[in-house]
Amino acid sequence: MVQFIHWIRRANFLRSLHRSSGLGQPLVFLFHSERGSAELVSHRRYSDIQSLPLSVDNIMASGQQPSSRSSFPPQTYHNFLVLDFEATCDKQLMQPQEIIEFPILKLHGRTLEIESEFHMYVQPVVHSELTPFCTELTGIVQSMVDGKPKLQQVLQMVDDWMRKEGLLDPKVNSIFVTCGDWDLKTMLPGQCQCLGLPVPDYFKKWINLKKAYSFAMGKYPKNGLPLMIEGLNLQHIGKLHRGIDDCKNIANIMKELARKGFTFKQTGSNL
Ligand code: MG
Ligand code: MG
């Protein structure tokens, strides 16, 4: 509570400082309830912040109290695009594998809040029947992929979504984030090569979350998501190996690493 009062005083101080400075642009004081931090921003910057921070007045009215967590550090990207493919598989190695779930979460580069979601199931062509092993592993049943668009169409839908979200604007700096290198180093380029499809450039650089985690925590998470979730004392969301759920867990891990002060950097490239 002491800290809360301190922030209110600081907000009032900054407001009076602004009034006396004669600055033209009105200022807004934002209180981030989850982060437990406060930030002074201009209206223009406020419109850039697409998360839903609570104002000091709202916090006072609701009686909420801030936690003691610190602010996130600035990141070098405007957006992170969390991606996790699920693909056809069997107990033995299946060749070729085909993507059957194509989820992307768009995260704000500073708050790491989810701003938008792309999610499609994809019809496999070579092995059109999912194996019991695959359904057990991913939770994806045959009816979820039957009649769904094929990879070429889904890649076009991804491109349309990227454009709609402003991610194709050259001034917007975004990067994909995956758990491991397999999704963008192996799976997508391999299937595109089989189909004679070009791989868009935005899929050719990425952050491998396992490497980011090992840089931040000093331990490589060999078994991937479960170990990172446990290492950060987070709750697992949904089903492991369901693409969209894996993306949500990746997003939570990223947020926690950012909260600890970690700045994400590119780790892989196919360029
Ligand atoms: Mg994965
Ligand atoms: Mg997965």
Q: pLDDT, tens digit, for every residue of 3-26?
A: 444 444 444 444 443 443 333 333
Report CA(243)–ligand 1 centroid distance (Å).
7
Q: What angle do CA 164, 166, 167 make, to 5 degrees?
A: 110
CA distances in angstroms from 208 to 38, 202, 252, listed in the order given: 31, 15, 15
Say yes or no to pLDDT of 230 above 50: yes
Question: By mean pLDDT, which of 36-40, 60-64, 71-75, 135-139 is the weakest?
Answer: 60-64
Q: How far apart are CA 94 and CA 112, in angstroms?
A: 36
Question: Which ligand has an atom closest to residue 180 CA?
Answer: 1
CA of 241 to the centre of ligand 1 (A): 7
Distance 86 CA to ligand 2 centre (A): 5
72-109 residue pLDDT tens = 888 999 999 999 999 999 999 999 999 999 999 999 99
CA 21, CA 133: separation in Å to the nearest integer?
67
Catalytic residue check, 108 = no
Instruction: Report how far residue 52's alpha carbon sits from residue 54's, in angstroms, rounded to the nearest whole number.
Output: 6
Protein residues within 5 Å, CB atom, of ion ligand 2: 84, 241, 246
The per-residue pLDDT for 71 is 66
Q: What is the pLDDT of residue 214?
A: 97
Give domain 79-269's CATH architecture. 2-Layer Sandwich (3.30)
Query: Is 60 a residue whose pLDDT tops 70?
Result: no
**Which one of the listed residues 108, 165, 241, 256 is annotated catalytic?**
241
Residue-wise pLDDT for 156-214, tens only, equals 999 999 999 999 999 999 999 999 999 999 999 999 999 999 999 999 999 999 999 99
pTM confidence score: 0.75
Q: What percent of the chain has pLDDT over 90?
A: 71
Q: Which pLDDT belongs to residue 74?
A: 85
Of the residues 86, 98, 165, 256, only one is catalytic, namely: 86
pLDDT average, residue stretch 110-136? 97
Q: Sort strands 174-178 and 79-83 into parallel, antiparallel or unpaired.
A: parallel
How far does residue 259's CA lie from ligand 1's centre (Å)?
23
List CB contacts of 33: < 8 A, sequence separation 6 or more: 53, 54, 59, 64, 66
Active site residue 241: yes
Q: How many whole angstroms from 238 Cα to the centroid of ligand 2?
A: 11
Model pLDDT, residue 73 = 82
Mean pLDDT (the chain) is 82
Q: Where are the domains of the chain?
A: 2-66, 79-269
